[in-house]
Homo-oligomer: A and B are copies of this chain.
Amino acid sequence: MGFWKSLFSSTDASIEKPTSTESYVVPGSGEGASDRATPRIFFSTEREIDLYELEELCDAVGWSRRPLRKVKKAIQHSFLVASMWEQRGVQRRLVGFARATSDHAFNATIWDVVVHPDFQGKGLGKALMKFMIKKLRSEDISNITLFADPHVVNFYRNLGFMQDPEGIKGMFWYPD
């Protein structure tokens, strides 16, 4: 036990996860200035996400509600958490979200990709996914996977994701 124990005790989960305050402006965003301020879209890997604001975002796309306690735990134990924000002056609004689980070495699996309906059709989902891929690649993850609902298979295909490569099948086990 000594070997693994010493590995674990020197490893804080938060250190090895690629969290950062880094953000950037999507090229082409910031158009359509309002009378208050020019809105800008930016991305972040910070995990400081108001769970109620996230729930509101997921409600907006019609997802079933999940216990916030479990959502908090899932965010805490995801390898990468990406959020997309609209900023107007000092106000910011959560408009997109995605996260990935990973073994920190070979594989990552992307879950819970959501873009607010008001912000769909503007290339922002694509930008969010490119942000995810860039971050995962920067961590040397080479196998990025996901499970796509039928209506978004083409969206992911356009981003370079392959469906069932070499006949590999996504499979699910649910409790009875």
Contact = CB atoms under 8 A, between A and B. Distances in A.
Interface of A: 1, 3-5, 7-9, 11-14, 16, 46-48, 66, 70-79, 99, 101-107, 109, 111, 133, 137, 142-150, 153, 156-157, 159-175
A99 B77 CA distance: 16
Contact of A147 (B47, B48, B70, B169): B169
Contacts of A175: 137, 142
24 contacts: A4-B14, A4-B76, A7-B76, A8-B12, A12-B12, A71-B105, A74-B103, A77-B79, A77-B102, A101-B102, A101-B107, A101-B109, A106-B111, A107-B109, A109-B145, A137-B175, A143-B174, A144-B172, A144-B174, A147-B171, A149-B167, A153-B171, A161-B173, A162-B173
Main secondary structure of the interface of A (DSSP, over half): mixed
